[in-house]
A and B are shown apart, each in its own frame.
Chain A
Amino acid sequence: MSERWQRVRHHPGAVAALFLLPAGFGFVVFYLWPALRALWMSFTDYNVLRGSGDWVGLQNYQDLAADPLFWHSMRVTALYVVLNIGVQTALALAMAVMMDRLTRSAVVRGVLVLPWLIPQVVVGLLWLWMLDPRLGVVNHALDWVGIGGQDFFGSPAQVIPTLAGVNTWRFVGYTALLIFAGLQMIPRHLYEAAALDGAGEWRTFWRVTLPLLRPVLALVLVLSVVGSFQVFDLVQVATGGIGGQPGGPANSSLVIYVYIFRHAFNFNNAGYAAAMSAVLAVLLAAVTFFIMRALRGSRSDLA
């Protein structure tokens, strides 16, 4: 036995393979196989209830290209992502820099991530009640200060900004912490040098902090962009009212995953849903590639 072990030990490749085996097994069973099966499904008319499907070739992709609701839901999702990422990243960056420059208190950091600890479904229900146009506490407050009630989830114009706002509220602390961790990696002496050279806070931020934070920002952007494309539970719970059809009013909050879910599990069109998911996967890969490329995310100026 020891002789065989010796032989294995002298082949680093074999040892590495041994260590990779558990993760590799998980990857194949839980990621690769389902992804391939979903891809196959997208070329069939797979029906969840029937549990089977026939090969239809590119039919689902042709239908999808001609489906106005698919493109509508893509636009809705894009609007949500832009609003969400814009506000969330800017706020998180400001919060992280302030934490870094003003306080290192663990209590402050703890408070910031509190909303992130609440499950998204609970967040959705909570805000549905708080933002109810007539009975919600938020509109009572707005009435009191003289702004007047808003429709929030009930208005086609406000529903996406509202959803983005709720999501920002939940995630901004978490994103701020990620950026804060990145800030800690910037050597202190660079700030001292900048101060000696007479740079103010504003100039230091643009010339020292931001360039050195770039790789971390790229990672944060990729994570949050992909994450916000996947918005589902919040919309499913908070729109359409209690017991109503999610995605309303008039499809104004029909984000792509709600539409995919509807086809897969309400209309039993798993094939069509799989085709939409495949298009979305390609799109997300492209967006990720673009962000990493544009921000040169895999290289740091510190090196």
Chain B
Amino acid sequence: MKLSWRRRIAVPLCAALLAAAACSGGTGDDENVTLDYWLWDDRQIPQYQECATAFTGQTGINVKITQYGWEDYWSNLNTQFAARRAPDVFTDHLAFYPSFVQNQVILPINEYVERDNVDLGQYYPGLADLWVGQDGKRYGLPKDWDTIALAYNSTMLADAGLSREDVWEATWNPTDGGTFEDIIARLSVDENGVRGNEPGFDPTKVATYGLSFDNPSNSASGQTSWGNFARSLGFELLADGNPWGTDYQFDDPRLAQTLDWFARMVKAGYVTPLADLQGVGYVSLFEAGDVALAINGSWAISSFTGISGVNVDFAPLPTGPQGRWSIYNGLADAISANTAHPDEAWQWVKYLASAECQNVVGEKAVVFPAIPASLEVGEQARERAGLDVSAYTTYLESQNTFLYPVTVNFDQVTQAVGAAVDEILLGNRPAAEALTAAQQQVDSIMGR
């Protein structure tokens, strides 16, 4: 039998303390099980703390929540896996879970799901399917979902003579940019107060950019930048299906057209140049009044609504030739293979994905819960706060969502594509050339 290090130390220690009768652990009962639970989003700690407290009250199982920032989270998790000391339960992401499955460091939960009759139909359609591995086993229960929309500074919108409807009904195409290009042009203002659509606009001395987004080099899906625009041209990232495709299509001309349009907008002074995305980030720029429109994921709504002194509203992304699309992603909780308490870990995972905890998640209104009824709770909470986030939910109603890519080696693909996108946005290389080179690298990464 394999003992955990804690127990190995605890046994002799208990022998020494036996006279004082101070030892309660190690007797085999599960009274004092404490699960380690990790997440990366600090905005979500309160809701899961509330769930954990209720869970402990019901089961007697304690949950210790630890949070790390996104980059640290994944490095730490990998080293903890290597040391076989990963947290019992942790928040999992579609970009990383394929390699966890491949290396068998997380536990399949399909047997638990069957045993406890968890209703997979209670979640938004599609979310539960993402967490089934290539081996047909289930590795997670959905707990939230996210889409992408635009956050805008409504004062600036009014100053530019634009209305909410103008943004909501915006159209886009890569040739002339549609009404969306007009909108970001009008929202851009140079240091002399000249707008982007007026003669004499100086693209090298821009005071306010029409559009900004997260540094695009950190995801090969273009989730919060080019991905949704390319999709609205009919572009599909994987030709052989998602999840578990391997045939990436980065050399698709529609993607090149999309990125060329972005590069042209940077040059025109309507979109923040890449250099500005390598600093403190687009939310700070929005807060400082240097940006009017920002492409933003629903998980970061509260970063914008929390800005004091700026009137923020949300609108969906513009409609392209093939419609209005948003990438659709969801998180789940995974159980580490090295956990000493798989049964207790499952109880916690099940609780996190249950209507009870999902209602708490909905109530806190930081992210969208995976259960529709819980989202209702969240909508009511937002309504009370006077917040309209229907921009993010419209895609679900019209069924214009596409799934986040679930493939192996996604990190390596990101490295290749991220650098190519950088070069395009810097204006150093035409998109078609940079993307063809990236596709060759991606093919060798995917073993094609």
B58 at the A interface (CB under 8 A): no
Contact of A244 among B74, B277, B290 (CB under 8 A): B277
Evaluate contact between A135 and B411: CB separation under 8 angstroms: no
B155 → chain A, closest Cβ, in Å? 19
Chain B residues positioned under 8 Å from A265 (CB to CB): 75, 78-79
Q: How many residues of B contact A (CB 8 A)?
A: 43
Distance of A128 Cα from B276 Cα, bound (Å): 11
Tell me whether chain B's interface is mostly helix, strand or loop, or mixed. Answer: helix
A185 at the B interface (CB under 8 A): no
User: Which parts of B8-62 form the interface with A (CB within 8 Å)?
Assistant: none
Evaluate contact between A267 and B412: CB separation under 8 angstroms: yes
Evaluate contact between B70 and A243: CB separation under 8 angstroms: yes
Chain B residues positioned under 8 Å from A262 (CB to CB): 415
Chain A residues positioned under 8 Å from B84 (CB to CB): 51
B329 at the A interface (CB under 8 A): no
Chain B residues positioned under 8 Å from A133 (CB to CB): 275-276, 278-279
User: Which parts of A140-161 form the interface with B (CB within 8 Å)?
Assistant: 151-156
Binding stretch for chain A, among B120-128, B172-180, B233-241, B280-288: B280-288
User: Which parts of B409-439 form the interface with A (CB within 8 Å)?
Assistant: 409, 411-412, 414-415, 418-419, 422-423, 426, 428
Binding stretch for chain A, among B195-203, B211-219, B252-260: B211-219
Chain A residues positioned under 8 Å from B280 (CB to CB): 128-129, 132, 135, 241-242
Evaluate contact between A135 and B284: CB separation under 8 angstroms: yes
Distance of A154 Cα from B266 Cα, bound (Å): 14
Distance of A242 Cα from B282 Cα, bound (Å): 10
Distance of A239 Cα from B411 Cα, bound (Å): 18
Distance of A150 Cα from B12 Cα, bound (Å): 62
Contact of A134 among B104, B105, B214, B279 (CB under 8 A): B279
Evaluate contact between A49 and B411: CB separation under 8 angstroms: no
Evaluate contact between B103 and A241: CB separation under 8 angstroms: no
Chain A residues positioned under 8 Å from B278 (CB to CB): 133, 153-154, 239-241, 244, 248-249
| Category for how many chain A residues contact B | 35 or more
Contact of B279 among A48, A49, A241, A245 (CB under 8 A): A241
Chain B residues positioned under 8 Å from A151 (CB to CB): 273, 275
Evaluate contact between B415 and A249: CB separation under 8 angstroms: no
Evaluate contact between A250 and B285: CB separation under 8 angstroms: no
Contact of B214 among A47, A48, A51, A243 (CB under 8 A): A243
Given known pairs A51-B82, A245-B415, the reply for A250 and B428 (CB within 8 Å) is: yes
Evaluate contact between B276 and A134: CB separation under 8 angstroms: yes
Distance of A128 Cα from B280 Cα, bound (Å): 7
A224 at the B interface (CB under 8 A): no
Contact of A248 among B78, B81, B422 (CB under 8 A): B422
Evaluate contact between A249 and B217: CB separation under 8 angstroms: yes
User: Which parts of A233-269 form the interface with B (CB within 8 Å)?
Assistant: 239-246, 248-251, 262, 265-268
Chain A residues positioned under 8 Å from B418 (CB to CB): 245, 248
A50 at the B interface (CB under 8 A): yes
Evaluate contact between A243 and B423: CB separation under 8 angstroms: no
Name the CB-closest residue of B to A50: B103
B74 → chain A, closest Cβ, in Å? 7
B181 → chain A, closest Cβ, in Å? 22
Chain B residues positioned under 8 Å from A239 (CB to CB): 278
A110 at the B interface (CB under 8 A): no
A136 at the B interface (CB under 8 A): yes
Distance of A248 Cα from B428 Cα, bound (Å): 14
B71 at the A interface (CB under 8 A): yes
Given known pairs A49-B105, A133-B279, A153-B278, the reply for A249 and B426 (CB within 8 Å) is: yes
Contact of B82 among A49, A244, A248 (CB under 8 A): A49
Chain B residues positioned under 8 Å from A129 (CB to CB): 280
Name the CB-closest residue of A to B434: A250
Given known pairs A50-B103, A241-B279, the reply for A134 and B274 (CB within 8 Å) is: no
B386 at the A interface (CB under 8 A): no
Distance of A48 Cα from B153 Cα, bound (Å): 45
Contact of B426 among A49, A242, A250, A266 (CB under 8 A): A250
B136 at the A interface (CB under 8 A): no
B69 at the A interface (CB under 8 A): yes
Distance of A136 Cα from B288 Cα, bound (Å): 12
B402 at the A interface (CB under 8 A): no
Chain A residues positioned under 8 Å from B277 (CB to CB): 154, 241, 244
Given known pairs A135-B285, A243-B70, the reply for A154 and B279 (CB within 8 Å) is: yes
21 contacts between A and B (CB under 8 A): A49-B82, A49-B99, A49-B100, A50-B103, A50-B104, A51-B81, A128-B280, A129-B280, A131-B279, A132-B280, A134-B279, A240-B217, A241-B215, A242-B281, A243-B214, A246-B71, A248-B215, A250-B423, A262-B415, A267-B409, A268-B99
Top 6 A-B pairs, shortest CB-CB distance: A154-B275, A132-B279, A250-B422, A244-B215, A151-B275, A49-B103
**Besides A48-B81, A153-B278, 19 other CB < 8 A contacts?**
A47-B103, A49-B82, A49-B103, A129-B280, A134-B285, A135-B284, A154-B274, A154-B275, A156-B426, A239-B278, A242-B280, A243-B281, A244-B214, A245-B418, A249-B275, A250-B419, A250-B423, A265-B75, A268-B103
